[in-house]
Chain A
Amino acid sequence: DTAVSQTPKYLVTQMGNDKSIKCEQNLGHDTMYWYKQDSKKFLKIMFSYNNKELIINETVPNRFSPKSPDKAHLNLHINSLELGDSAVYFCASSQNRDPTEAFFGQGTRLTVV
């Protein structure tokens, strides 16, 4: 059983398109995150939700909109994709907003052409 699963694993799309990445966790955690890893392997937090409530929004462009329909899901929608959005996006989850042992998904490699 995969603890944190993301779909799709790979996404290649053209500039200007809109795309979504889905994330689900079956760990019973109440906090979920989106991280972006650039080409230099630098992981940076984008968003965090706790029980469907947004608690972190790290100066991410408005083109990125997270949606949490329930505490087990945190989806990421990106409008008007740009070349600079190309990266690996990781979903993660933890319990009680505690970053201890945050579990990460396998990542979604987004390539914008």
Chain B
Amino acid sequence: EDKVVQSPLSLVVHEGDTVTLNCSYEVTNFRSLLWYKQEKKAPTFLFMLTSSGIEKKSGRLSSILDKKELFSILNITATQTGDSAVYLCAVGVGGNTGKLIFGQGTTLQVKP
């Protein structure tokens, strides 16, 4: 069965800290790995990764994929209270259906 596992499940840090969120996966037909940020409502897209070793960066957030070891990390540097959210990792699987398998999410709380 396809599976996506995120760790840690929750994390509390102080503003200015750097955090690393982990996502490992076991799927039969990998197409892509996506990171989403979910605050109160809809998940919003952060990154999509398809190739190993190529870092994607957006401001203080960056992410990288390792297709050999089947994991991805999401880094957030100089955290701010506005980074508090649930971070979701999802793997797009093959079969041309658009299906995403989600992990259980990491809840990040950034304290002032």
Contacts and interface: CB of A to CB of B under 8 A. Distances in A.
Given A42-B105, A43-B88, A99 B100 contact: yes
Contacts, number: 69
Interface string A90-113: 100010011111111111000000
Main secondary structure of the interface of B (DSSP, over half): strand
Contact of A44 (B42, B86, B102): B102
B34 A99 contact: yes
Interface residues of A, number: 27
A63 to B, nearest CB: 22
B61 interface: no
Nearest to A32: B98
Contacts of B96: 97
Interface of A: 4, 31, 33, 35, 40-45, 48, 50, 55-56, 90, 94, 97-107
